[in-house]
Amino acid sequence: MSRDDSDEAYVVGLCNQVLEETALTQHRFDWLLGDPGSGGRRARLPVDAFWPGHHLVVEYREIQHDQPVAYFDKPDRLTVSGVHRGEQRALYDARRESQIPAHGLRLVVIRPADLDADRRGRLHRNPDRDLEKVRKLLARTSDEDRVTDAFHRWLLSEGWTPVTPTDRWTDIEAVRGEERLICEAKGRTGDVGVDTDTAYGQLLRRMTDPATAVRYALVVPTSSVKAAGRVPPHVRRTLRIDLYEVTDEGQIFLHLA
């Protein structure tokens, strides 16, 4: 079976539907490395799927990740880590679980038992049932998540392409032709004034590129628009900061400076 026909590809396809973005599959980060080989070189470890616009990595872990399977583990052969393949797999899974969140990304692990599968971990591939389960596994519950996801969908509809942020703490970064937009998003909060001022400060720290094609955006719910508007329009124009409102219904409005 080719990778395109695999259960992994099927699960990634379901995630693409939920997220409304196509994953970078078998993506490799410069900071996620395996153990040194005989020549001292450390290969970059792949992740199953990465969605830059959502800061999300999904790993689909079949049964050999959680229980011994001789066919996959090759217990009579040692890897560069000095252990057999099954032990190395567990070691590298743990490395992904520590390093991916440490670099500002969200990691979601999906297993056959999370979906419609038999006892051997083979998926029945019931798209309607599996799609609902994947939707729940990927769900984010904070209001900042709601704001970020709504703005992400709007960017895609306006021809923007989300990219991996230059600064890993940036909520959303997107490009469109020569334009680049660096965004800080906030959800509903109990201290609107302080949190809005903090968001402006976070944007200021990210203003490392003087190019006029680079703009910055503060993306806030309707309840924070008044507080965000306390920064005078001429200041926002000078700093190239756009103010976007995300309504409770998920509509996006640009408040011109």
Residue 209 corresponds to which amino acid? D
- Contact 231/196 with Cβ under 8 angstroms? no
Residue 240: which region, alpha, beta or left (left: phi > 0; alpha: psi -120 to 50)? left
Q: Of the given ranges (60-74, 117-131, 176-190), which has the lowest mean pLDDT?
A: 60-74
Q: What is the pLDDT of residues 156-169, one digit of tens each?
A: 889 998 887 888 78
Distance CA 150, CA 172 (A): 12
Annotation: CATH topology of 3-138? Endonuclease; Chain A (3.40.960)
- Assess whether pLDDT exceeds 60 at residue 151: yes
Measured in degrees and rounded to the nearest 5, phi and psi for residue 108 equal -120, 125
Q: What are the domain boundaries of the chain? A: 3-138, 143-255
**When comparing pLDDT for 134 and 35, which is higher?**
134
User: Over the stretch 32-67, which tens digit does the pLDDT of each residue have?
Assistant: 998 887 777 888 999 999 998 888 999 999 876 555
CATH topology of domain 143-255: Trna Endonuclease; Chain: A, domain 1 (3.40.1350)
Supply 157's token pair: 């509809």
Which value, to the nearest 10 degrees, does the dihedral of the CA atoms of residues 100, 58, 183, 157 take?
160
Residue 149, pLDDT score: 86
Res 76: pLDDT: 60
> Structure pTM?
0.63
Predicted confidence (pLDDT) at residue 180 exceeds the cutoff of 80: yes
SS3 207: coil
**Residue spans of beta strands (DSSP E) within 113-213:** 161-162, 172-176, 179-185
Residue 137: count of CB within 10 angstroms of its CB: 18
pLDDT of residue 123 exceeding 80: yes
| pLDDT-derived band at 224, boundaries 50, 70, 90 | very high
Q: Quick check: helix, strand or coil at residue 162? A: strand
Which H or E run contains 239? helix 233-239
Write the CB contacts of 230 (distance below 8 Å, at least 6 apart in sequence).
193, 196
Residue 77: is its pLDDT beyond 80? no
pLDDT at 70: 46
pLDDT of 7-39, one tens digit each? 999 999 999 999 989 999 999 999 999 888 777
For residue 246, what are its two tokens?
């995300």
